[in-house]
């Protein structure tokens, strides 16, 4: 998988957030667009990557399998207050030769994460246009390469509030998410450990441990027009108090990432289904 394609997938993942109230939508849609976004080489890096690239659009609203702005998932259990789904996540690769803090160290491969997620709905408005949920994903992480490696587990509970009836902004959807990250030793070590053979002046050997990995806050705004969709996000990360905060690879303990995507719909199914996320 090329670095460009993996980063395009990341852009789509970062723009997840806002949803719409229950309405009829095509069973599937396909299209393409362009994304512009900015984020650090890895969480804690003081170097920023800026990208402008094409991105695919695919949505599917089946009874079990779903693919939309919330990601690709399967729904095993669904009630009015509790959802049990499959959670997926991706992270981009990073070339260590382009990152001063990691010079001479192995590259960071792109990663793929998968695991169960339980969503608990605390509150929902009568018209279902607003809700507050607690999202509880637990995912195993693997490198994306010819011989994938298991690099541990990630737990990322998030409080999610969506508003799809913004006053004076018909059709616009606002999503707010906030929550801590936790990783086991293998997960944190993949990004923040420095093996003795890679130690040098200003970069002492370091062994990361499991535990708290900082906080993330995200706000997303999107709108679906008849033939295209536009979405944007702003994310703030803070690594203060993280179990690996003392790693010599952590050069910046807080940062802001942002992105904008515009996609055009080229085709859709004639079959319509009721979508209520």
Instruction: Find the range with the poorest average confidence among 126-130, 163-167, 178-182.
Output: 126-130
Whether pLDDT at 64 is above 70: no
Whether pLDDT at 117 is above 80: yes
* Cβ-Cβ contacts under 8 Å for 95 (sequence gap 6 or more): 107
When pLDDT is averaged across residues 63-77 and rounded to a whole number, the result is 55
In whole angstroms, what is the distance from residue 1 CA to residue 257 CA? 24
Whether pLDDT at 2 is above 70: no
What is the pLDDT, as a whole number, of residue 183? 98
When pLDDT is averaged across residues 119-145 and rounded to a whole number, the result is 92
**Reduced to 3 DSSP states, what percent helix, strand and coil does the chain have, rounded to the nearest 5?**
10, 55, 35
Count of domains for the chain? 1
What is the pLDDT, as a whole number, of residue 53? 81
Q: Write the DSSP symbol of residue 110.
A: P
What is the pLDDT, as a whole number, of residue 20? 39
In whole angstroms, what is the distance from residue 14 CA to residue 135 CA? 16
Whether pLDDT at 68 is above 80: no
The greatest distance separating any two alpha carbons of the chain, rounded to the nearest whole angstrom, comes to 63
275 versus 155: the higher-pLDDT residue is 155
- Its domain, for residue 209, covers 3-275
Whether pLDDT at 162 is above 60: yes
Regarding beta strands 71-78 and 65-68, do their DSSP bridges make them parallel or antiparallel, or are they unpaired? antiparallel
In whole angstroms, what is the distance from residue 57 CA to residue 80 CA? 29
Q: What proportion of the chain, given as a percentage, has pLDDT over 70?
A: 83
* Cβ-Cβ contacts under 8 Å for 170 (sequence gap 6 or more): none
Instruction: Find the range with the poorest average confidence among 66-75, 127-136, 193-202, 245-254.
Output: 66-75
List the CATH number of the domain containing 193. Answer: 2.40.230
Neighbour-count burial of 210, counting CB atoms closer than 10 A to its CB (0-12 exposed, 13-18 middle, 19+ buried) = middle
What is the pLDDT, as a whole number, of residue 14? 46
When pLDDT is averaged across residues 30-52 and rounded to a whole number, the result is 90
User: What is the SS3 assignment for 210-273?
Assistant: CEEEEEEEEEEEEEECCCEEEEEEEEEEECCCCCCCCCCCCCCCEEEEEEEEEEEEEEECCCEE
pLDDT digits (tens, 9 = 90+) for 103-112: 999 999 989 9
pLDDT confidence bin for 87, thresholds 50/70/90 = confident
Contact 234, 222 (CB under 8 A): no
């Amino acid at each position: 998988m090329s670095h460009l394609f993996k980063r395009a997938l990341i852009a789509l993942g970062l723009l997840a957030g806002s949803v719409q109230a229950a309405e009829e939508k095509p069973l599937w849609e396909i299209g393409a667009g362009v994304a512009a976004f900015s984020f650090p080489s890895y969480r804690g890096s003081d170097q920023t990557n800026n990208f402008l690239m094409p991105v695919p659009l695919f949505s599917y609203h089946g009874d079990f399998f779903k693919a939309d702005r919330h990601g690709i998932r399967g729904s095993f259990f669904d009630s009015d207050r509790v959802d049990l789904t499959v959670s997926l996540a991706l992270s981009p690769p990073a070339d260590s030769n382009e990152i001063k803090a990691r010079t001479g160290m192995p590259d960071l491969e792109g990663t793929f994460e998968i695991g169960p997620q339980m969503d608990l709905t605390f509150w929902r408005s009568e018209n279902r246009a607003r809700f507050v949920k607690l999202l509880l994903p637990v995912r195993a992480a693997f490198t994306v390469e010819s011989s994938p490696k298991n690099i541990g587990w990630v737990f990322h509970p998030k409080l999610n509030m969506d508003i799809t009836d913004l006053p004076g902004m018909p059709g616009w959807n606002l999503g707010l998410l906030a929550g801590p990250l936790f990783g086991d030793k293998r997960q944190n070590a993949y990004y923040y450990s420095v093996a003795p053979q890679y130690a040098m002046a200003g970069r002492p050997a370091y062994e990361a441990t499991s535990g708290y990995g900082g906080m993330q806050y995200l706000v997303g705004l999107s709108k679906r027009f008849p033939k295209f969709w536009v979405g944007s996000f702003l994310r703030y990360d803070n690594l203060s108090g993280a179990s690996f905060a003392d790693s010599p690879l952590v050069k910046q303990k807080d940062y802001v990432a942002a992105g904008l995507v515009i996609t055009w719909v080229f085709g859709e199914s004639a079959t319509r289904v009721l979508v209520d996320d």
